[in-house]
Amino acid sequence: MYFYKISKHYNVKFLKTFSKLSENGRFLEPTATFIGVNVKRNKTMKKHQDVSSSINKAGEFVRKESSFRNQVEANGEFPPESGRYHLYVSYACPWAHRTLISRKLKGLEDVISYTTVDYLMGENGWRFNDQIPGCTKDPIFGVEYMREIYHKVSPGYDGRITVPVLFDKKAKKIVNNESSEIIRMFNHGFDEFCATEQQRQLDLYPLEKRNEIDEVNAWVYPNINNGVYRSGFATSQEAYDKAVQDLFAHLDKLEDLLSKQRYVTGNTLTEADVRLYTTLVRFDPVYHGHFKCNKKRIIDYPNIWSYLRELYQMPGFGDTTDMEHITKHYQMSHVKINPYGIVYIGPDLDFMAPHDRNEKFPV
């Protein structure tokens, strides 16, 4: 095997072949066939369970449930304290992105610290790599991989290694790795520590709207949030057809909804908007091409596109969106879908272009 340097961060692994030199002389004899980005696996670890491996007999992607489901609550095992908890995230991951947005909206930046993993997921899963912009080494255990943290706090754990992870630095335990529950904890569990009174008063899951929010989440999650994954990871034509048809039927539903009101559940921002944003902002740059969700683009939906621009321009949304991490993660890590690991150049999107949501739905 041969290794050719493609960046200061990674080597790309090639297999020797005996084809002829290209006319432009770009490769030396023997030429090489790219088989993906290589990050050597620690032989003492079990192989990482890639998310795309969760496929049933019908070729349908079925997401597994999160394993750690504890709560931060007063008088509980994990009481709310400033500086006690740490968030492990990936800028690329839409589920982890939800927690970064909620943390920022609630003014918890000085209360809950966080660490970002490398955008490239290799055979050992999520990696801490301070050579990548925006990433640092693990500040708690000093380990190289996220899986090592799971195994330290839960010896024998054989489930999937995922982010986000809310970690208790004092007890050295994983509190929760389910994003929908973490954002609920951030919504009110740390109110006494919010940076401002306005952020303390912000309620992304208000009592009077909970039924409506739950109803929206119930169709957005399976058909849009997870629908792009169901489309992209399908291994049969039937599974893909079902997933992609569900996806665009519900994007059409969303377009109609947003033609009548400013946000998903009315004229106030809620967690339903946070949960939806992280999929929409990744759609045209990644899901449209990489996951074969190419019937339409978000920019082809006037109301969704304007709504997305409004959210992106709000504090907490665009400033937690790292498009380099997003595009490189999907296109370099999913070698079953993109075996050459080539990251495509576009599209050019202007998220800062003026939107019309104020004119249509003044608050």
Catalytic positions are: 93, 229
CB 49 within 8 A of CB 62: no
Q: Which residue has the tokens 């706090």?
A: 153
CB 168 within 8 A of CB 84: yes
- CA–CA dist 48, 50 (Å, integer): 6
Within the chain, where are the H helices? 94-105, 146-153, 179-188, 197-201, 210-220, 227-232, 237-258, 271-282, 288-290, 302-312, 323-333, 357-360
- CA–CA dist 200, 159 (Å, integer): 36
- CA–CA dist 276, 270 (Å, integer): 10
- CA–CA dist 118, 325 (Å, integer): 8
- CA–CA dist 53, 61 (Å, integer): 8
CB 340 within 8 A of CB 34: yes
The CA-based dihedral angle spanning residues 329, 335, 336, 337, taken in that order and rounded to the nearest 10 degrees: 60
Structure tokens at 296: 């339409």
Three-state DSSP class for residue 15: strand
Three-state DSSP class for residue 32: strand
Pairing relationship of beta strands 113-116 and 85-89 according to DSSP bridges: parallel
CB 117 within 8 A of CB 126: yes
